[in-house]
Amino acid sequence: MGRHSRILAAIGLSLALVTGPALAQQSGGTLVQVTVPEPPNLASYLSTSGPIGQVAAKVYEGLIDVGDGLTLKPSLAESWTVSEDGKTITFKLREGVTWHDGKPFTSADVQYGIMNVLREVHPRGGATLKVIEAVETPDDYTAVFKLSEPAPYLMISLNGYESPIVAKHLFEGTDPRENPTANAPVGTGPFKFVEWQKGQFVRLDKNENYWQEGKPYLDRVVVRFIADASTRTAAIENGEVHFGAFGAIPNIDVPRLGEMPEIDVTTKGYEYVAPIMQLQFNVTKAPFDNPLVRKAIATALDRQFVIDNIWFGFGKPATGPIHSAFEPSGIFTTDGVESFEVDDRIAKANAMLDEAGLPRDADGIRFRMIHDLTPYGEEWRRFGEYVKQVLAELGIAAELRYEDVATWLKRVYTDYDYEMSSNWLYGLPDPVLGVHRQYHSNQIRPGTVFVNGTKWSSPETDALMDAASVENDPKKRAELYHDFQRQIVDASPIIFMHELEFTTVHSANLKNAVMGPLGVYHSFADAYFEQ
């Protein structure tokens, strides 16, 4: 990929030289990004919270970078080799990289950052990095990871958003949870942290000593926080803001803004998070302990209707627990996976409910239920209203319940006090990170959020996941996941609605703003304003 883009850039450059005086990249300018909500801190080593990543990814870097198609690209590590048995990974680190405070970056930082910070305090680090038994540092620019077992998912999670490398000299001897860099990060990235006026903005200035020659092109990045959606739209329309991602500009305004010549819209840059919108059941509660009932509801819902009418056309029908972004790696399949896309939805679903032994009473009602709505915005409310109408056609009387985030999380992931809830989870760049947590029986962990909230437990799918997490042969691994997709959809503890598409809205003269699957979780090293 890297070579391709270089060739393309070369072609572009020569075309530019032939056709006009415009140069490919122009230096200078201040980019104003709007992020919502304001992050509580900038400690991306402590939290994977989206707003934190949107800002911190400009300052921190990882050992690797993620390229198109979820491929690995060098970053702080120039190159790496994986041993035959998959249990030793040797990284050759880049020389001449300095921290923003001027100290040199060495293998000691990698060792300390991985073993003492990320493995200890990162919310996913305990799970993802636990296979790393030791990081050896034979010299300043070599880091050797010793793993307890092969971990095919490990490499991609070493990117700057997921596993930012922090400076040993600033963390050594302190509690990483109370490190002052939480509000004033010091990294190796293209932009240096300057100041944070809480409630207003974060200012990041160009790192003059950045290791990528000539980059970044921008002089400054300012991240603003505007709580009101309509005001954010007004600010980008007015040119006060140049860039907003992850629904910062509400979908309802996006088509209109997209038609303006000075504004561009893209749905690229979300392949890394690969979110799927779902309806999940508490599979221990009757009648939802019966797969036939769950599948009847899955059959009745019209996914394309939901995308077109509630999500303003942004989305793609989902077919199973694994996002179609995994198609290039061969993990994703629809082959042999049951499809709920049928013509006479309501009739089929009613027949299934009859078969399940749930007759209608005198009022035409089979049973009553409560549908909990995930509290992440207006669309989910409207989706709940749609589901309620469809369920009524099936003879199911549903009541909608909408609570705030903390209450809802506790209900679903601590008390399991629900029957059916809408929800959406990131697929993340490997199923071990993003998918297993929802289905493995060892992920039924009261009090821990976004894990197995359905209480689904099956020795067969557990075995498939266990095997896939240590299988280093990509082909065999893909087959394990194909089986997994068939079994999960056949049981449908979760109804897969659609793959959410987020939009990034930016000024048309801002180029290279979205680079690769990390999108806004990437630095603006390549971004520039075309004058």
Partner 1 sequence: MSGRIAFILRRFLQAIPILLAIIIINFLLLKLAPGDAADVLAGEAGSATPEYMAELRAKFGLDKPVPVQLAQYVGRVLMLDFGYSFRHDMPVAQLVIDRLGPTLILMVTTILLAVGFGILLGLLAATGLNTWRDNVISILALVSYATPLFWVGLMLIVVFSINLGWFPTSGMETIAAFHTGWARVLDIAHHLVLPAITLSLFYLALYTRLMRASMLEQAGMDYVITARAKGLSERRITFRHVLRNALLPVVTMAGVQVSSLIGGSVIVETVFGWPGLGQLAFESLFARDLNLLMGIFFLSAVLVLIVNLIVDILYTLLDPRIELK
Chain contacts with partner 1 (rule: CB under 8 A): 30, 32, 37-38, 40-41, 43, 47-50, 121, 123-124, 126-127, 177-178, 182-183, 197-201, 203, 220, 222, 224-228, 230-231, 234-235, 237-238, 240, 404-411, 413-414, 425-426, 437, 445, 447-451
Enter the DSSP assignment of 161. T
In angstroms, what CA-CA distances link 389 with 256, 420, 463?
Answer: 30, 15, 38
Q: Which is nearer to partner 1, 444 or 470 (CB)?
A: 444
Q: Do 227 and 285 touch, CB atoms closer than 8 A?
A: no
Q: Which is nearer to partner 1, 4 or 130 (CB)?
A: 130
Q: Which is nearer to partner 1, 274 or 300 (CB)?
A: 274
Please, what is the minimum distance in Å from the beta carbon of residue 447 to partner 1?
Answer: 6
Q: Which is nearer to partner 1, 121 or 265 (CB)?
A: 121
Q: Which is nearer to partner 1, 235 or 390 (CB)?
A: 235
Please, what is the minimum distance in Å from the beta carbon of residue 178 to partner 1?
Answer: 7
Q: Which of 167, 182, 176 is nearest to 104 (CA)?
A: 167
Determine how many CB atoms are found less than 10 A away from the CB of residue 531. Answer: 9
- The residues facing 496 across adjacent strands are 278
Q: Say whether 138 sits in a helix, a strand or coil.
A: strand
Q: Which of 339, 526, 493, 510 is nearest to 416 (CA)?
A: 493
In angstroms, what CA-CA distances link 341 with 150, 387, 412?
Answer: 38, 16, 28
Please, what is the minimum distance in Å from the beta carbon of residue 375 to partner 1?
Answer: 9
Q: Do 89 and 145 touch, CB atoms closer than 8 A?
A: yes
CA dihedral of residues 338, 344, 349, 355 (deg, nearest 10): -90
Please, what is the minimum distance in Å from the beta carbon of residue 198 to partner 1?
Answer: 6
Q: Indicate the pairing of strand 494-500 with strand 191-197.
A: unpaired
Q: Which is nearer to partner 1, 43 or 63 (CB)?
A: 43
Q: Do 94 and 77 touch, CB atoms closer than 8 A?
A: yes
Q: Which is nearer to partner 1, 79 or 231 (CB)?
A: 231
Please, what is the minimum distance in Å from the beta carbon of residue 66 to partner 1?
Answer: 17
**Phi/psi at 123 (5° precision):** -60, -35
Q: Which of 421, 448, 99, 35 is nearest to 227 (CA)?
A: 35
Please, what is the minimum distance in Å from the beta carbon of residue 34 to partner 1?
Answer: 9
Q: Do 448 and 475 touch, CB atoms closer than 8 A?
A: no
> Residue 295 CA to chain centroid, in angstroms?
27
Q: Which is nearer to partner 1, 41 or 188 (CB)?
A: 41
Please, what is the minimum distance in Å from the beta carbon of residue 5 to partner 1?
Answer: 30
Largest Cα–Cα distance in the chain? 79
Q: Which is nearer to partner 1, 414 or 509 (CB)?
A: 414
Please, what is the minimum distance in Å from the beta carbon of residue 174 to partner 1?
Answer: 12
Q: Which is nearer to partner 1, 120 or 140 (CB)?
A: 120
Please, what is the minimum distance in Å from the beta carbon of residue 22 to partner 1?
Answer: 24
The length of the chain in residues reads 531
Q: Which of 364, 449, 439 is nearest to 410 (CA)?
A: 449
Q: Read off the tokens for 292.
A: 């036939």
**C-alpha–C-alpha distance, residues 369 and 381, integer Å:** 17
Residue with tokens 């620019």: 141
Please, what is the minimum distance in Å from the beta carbon of residue 11 to partner 1?
Answer: 34
